C-alpha cells in the first residue's frame, strides 16, 4: 500500500520519530544512571560511604521510574514505525527521520570517543579503579548499542 507523499510528511510521522528519539535518549540515560547507582551501592566510596549510598538509592529510584515508563514507549513506537516502513517505504526516506538517526549515531560516536579519552586520562593519572571501569563499560555498551541499532535500521 503506497500512501501519498503528503501523508508521509504529515506531522504524525514527524512527532512519532521525535518521540522515538526522546524516549530512546531518556531510556539510555536512565539505564546508565541505574547502572552507575548499582555500582555505587555495590562498590561504595570508602571515603564517604553513608552519604553516597543514601543518594545512590534515591537516584536509582528516580532512574528506574523513568526507565520503566520510557522503554516500553520506545519499543512500542519502534515496532509501530517498523510496520509502517514495510507498508510504505517512503517513510524510511523521510528527511526528519534521517536527520534524527544520523544525529543519534553522531552523539553515540562522540560519547564513545569522549569515554575513550577519559579512560586514557585516568590510565595516565594512575587512578584506574573497578568502579570507573564498570561505569565506562556501561556507557560504552549503551553508546555502541544505540549506534549499532540505528546503523542497522538505517541500512534496511
DSSP class per residue in 106-156: HHHHHHHHHHHHHHHHHHHHT---HHHHHHHHHHHHHHHHHHHHHHHHHH-
Check: pTM over 0.85? Answer yes or no: no
Q: Give residue 3's pLDDT band: very low, low, confident or very high (50, 70, 90).
A: low
The pLDDT assigned to 16 comes to 92
The pLDDT assigned to 4 comes to 55
Residue 50 reports pLDDT greater than 80:
no
Q: Which set of grid coordinates corresponds to residue 28? A: 539510555
Q: Which domain holds residue 89?
A: 5-155
Cell 507498508 belongs to residue? 87
The pLDDT assigned to 55 comes to 86
Question: What percent of the chain is predicted at pLDDT more than 70?
Answer: 88
Structural domains counted in the chain: 1
Q: Residue 93 carries which DSSP code?
A: G
What's the rounded Cα separation, in Å, for the pair 156 and 151?
9
* pLDDT, tens only, 113-126: 898 888 888 888 77
Amino acid at each position: 500500500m503506497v500512501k501519498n507523499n503528503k501523508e508521509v510528511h504529515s506531522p504524525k510521522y514527524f512527532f512519532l520519530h521525535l518521540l522515538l528519539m526522546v524516549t530512546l535518549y531518556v531510556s539510555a540515560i536512565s539505564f546508565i544512571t541505574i547502572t552507575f547507582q548499582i555500582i555505587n551501592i555495590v562498590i561504595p566510596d570508602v571515603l564517604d560511604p553513608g552519604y553516597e549510598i543514601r543518594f545512590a538509592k534515591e537516584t536509582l529510584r528516580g532512574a528506574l521510574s523513568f526507565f520503566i515508563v520510557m522503554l516500553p514507549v520506545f519499543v512500542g513506537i519502534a515496532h509501530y514505525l517498523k510496520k509502517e516502513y514495510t507498508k510504505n517505504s517512503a517513510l524510511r526516506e523521510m528527511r526528519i527521520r534521517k536527520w534524527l538517526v544520523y544525529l543519534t549515531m553522531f552523539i553515540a560516536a562522540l560519547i564513545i570517543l569522549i569515554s575513550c579519552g577519559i579512560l586514557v586520562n585516568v590510565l595516565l593519572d594512575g587512578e584506574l579503579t573497578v568502579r570507573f571501569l564498570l561505569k565506562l563499560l556501561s556507557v560504552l555498551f549503551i553508546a555502541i548499542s544505540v549506534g549499532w541499532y540505528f546503523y542497522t535500521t538505517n541500512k534496511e
